[in-house]
Amino acid sequence: MSDAGMITVNGRARPLEAPTSLLRLLEQLALDPRAVVVELNREIVRRPQLADTRVQPGDQLELVHFVGGG
């Protein structure tokens, strides 16, 4: 399987080095979980669930926040 051990974060492929939670992944990316909203395979994962949600090979993640806009 070519995508074994890979995840996609904000459109970019990234190796999944070890089994981890969404909260741990945010920490690895140096992101404050209070300032980011996480979408996992098109479903929003609410903040209290981040620690208990596992990241699996092949997962598609979107990490969004607020930026300046009209």
Partner 1 sequence: MATSAATELDTPLTIAGRTFRSRLMVGTGKYRSNSLMGAALDASGAEIVTVAVRRVDLDRSKEEGILYHLDTAKYFLLANTAGCYSAEDAIRYARLAREAGFNEFIKLEVIGDQPTLLPDTEGLLQAAKALVAEGFAVMAYTNDDLVTALRLEDLGCAAVMPLASPIGSGLGLVNPYTVRTIKQRLACPVIVDAGVGTASDACITMEQGVDGILMNTALAEARDPVRMATAMRLAVEAGREAFLAGRMPRREIAVPSSPTTGLLD
Q: What angle do CA 70, 43, 17 make, to 5 degrees?
A: 105
Distance CA 32, CA 18 (A): 21
> Among candidates 35, 29, 34, which has minimal Cα distance to 17?
29
- State the nearest-atom distance from the C-beta of 69 to partner 1, in Å: 3
Position 15 contacts partner 1 (CB under 8 A) = no
In this complex, which beta carbon is closest to partner 1, that of residue 4 or of residue 30?
30
Position 13 contacts partner 1 (CB under 8 A) = no
Judged by CB under 8 A, the chain residues 23 through 52 that form the site for partner 1 are: 29-32, 35-37, 39, 42, 44, 46-47
Helix (H, G, I), strand (E, B) or coil at 33: helix
For residue 29, which amino acid is it?
A: L
Binding site for partner 1 (CB under 8 A): 9-12, 29-32, 35-37, 39, 42, 44, 46-47, 62-70
